[in-house]
């Protein structure tokens, strides 16, 4: 767990210029950052440091630069409180943050306490915006945090690879399966209920339990440690 926390605590190495708004297109209407910007980021993520040493301090520092450079994309976030009731009902637990979900979204996650695995299905709702197929493509990252009584702490992190569609049309279903780490891995299965938070972030690795993804969402929900 200490290695993962060290990686997740890397601080960005300085902000770059904020991008100007791109022209909305048919697949991402009203969005500040549409297909063009998403493909630009997918290309930047082919940086050799990121590809050879994903999750390393150097790789996360480069991702922090990208996050800062494209900070205008944060304008595509939606206040979950303003969602129509029928839309909010699509998500399990509490939707605590909603980024741009015009390409991918995560509506629910669950925990298998016996196998110590989190499973987070991801709906892919756009054929493009993920990078050239089949590789390099890009990744959907999910960081899961758990509150053991003193605030959320990182408990699991993993990703799934995907790329632009070669054929067919959305929706496609992917999933991130992540093994529990640290305290959650060590705690006994005594039936207690804990609060969990899962953060879906396309392209850029979530680096804290308060991370706000440009593409993706954040769900707070309950898990139970049944034996």
Could you report the per-residue pLDDT of 71-92, keeping only the tens digit for each? Answer: 999 999 999 999 999 999 999 9
Confidence band (pLDDT; 50, 70, 90) for 62?
Answer: very high
Q: How confident is the model over 209-213, as a mean pLDDT?
A: 98
d(CA 159, CA 175): 8
Q: What was the pLDDT predicted at 23?
A: 33
Domain count, the chain: 1
How much is the pTM?
A: 0.87
- The mean-pLDDT minimum among 26-40, 59-73, 108-122, 129-143 falls in 26-40
* Per-residue pLDDT tens digits for 184-197: 999 999 999 999 99
* pLDDT of 65 above 60: yes
pLDDT band at 30 (very low <50, low <70, confident <90, very high): confident
pLDDT at 8 over 90: no
The pLDDT of 135-159, averaged and rounded, is: 97
Contact 12, 64 (CB under 8 A): yes
Q: With contact defined as beta carbons under 8 Å apart, do 119 and 177 qualify? A: yes
Tokens of 152: 């959320």
The arithmetic mean of pLDDT across residues 56-79, rounded, is 97
Hunting for tokens 């070669």 — which residue is that?
166
Range of the domain at 106: 2-224
E-assigned strands of 10-49? none
Question: Residue 26: CB partners within 8 Å, gap ≥ 6?
Answer: none
What is the pLDDT confidence band of residue 95, given thresholds at 50, 70 and 90? very high
How far is residue 23's CA from residue 16's CA, in Å, rounded to a whole number? Answer: 21
Smallest CA-to-CA distance from 138 within 164, 121, 161, 154 is with 161
pLDDT value at residue 6: 41
Q: How many C-beta atoms surround the C-beta of residue 50 within 10 A?
A: 22
């Amino acid at each position: 767990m200490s290695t993962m926390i060290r990686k997740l605590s890397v601080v960005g190495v300085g902000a770059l210029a904020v991008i100007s708004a791109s022209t909305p297109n048919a697949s991402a209407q009203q969005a500040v950052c549409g297909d063009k910007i998403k493909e630009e980021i997918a290309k930047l993520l082919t940086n050799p440091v990121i590809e050879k040493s994903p999750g390393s301090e150097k790789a996360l520092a480069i991702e922090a630069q990208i996050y800062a450079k494209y900070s205008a994309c944060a304008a595509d976030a939606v206040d979950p409180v303003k969602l129509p009731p029928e839309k909010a009902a699509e998500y399990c637990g509490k939707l605590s943050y909603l980024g741009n979900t015009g390409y991918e979204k995560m509506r629910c996650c669950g925990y298998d306490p016996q196998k110590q695995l989190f499973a987070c299905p991801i709906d892919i709702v756009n054929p493009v915006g993920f990078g050239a197929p089949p590789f390099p493509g890009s990744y959907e990252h999910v960081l899961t945090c758990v509150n053991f009584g003193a605030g959320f702490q990182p408990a699991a992190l993993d990703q799934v690879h995907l790329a632009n569609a070669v054929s067919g049309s959305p929706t496609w279903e992917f999933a991130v399966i992540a093994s529990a780490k640290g305290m959650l891995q060590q705690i006994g299965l005594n039936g207690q209920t804990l609060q969990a938070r899962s953060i879906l972030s396309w392209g850029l690795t979530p680096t804290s339990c308060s991370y706000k993804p440009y593409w993706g969402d954040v769900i707070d929900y309950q898990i139970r440690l049944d034996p």
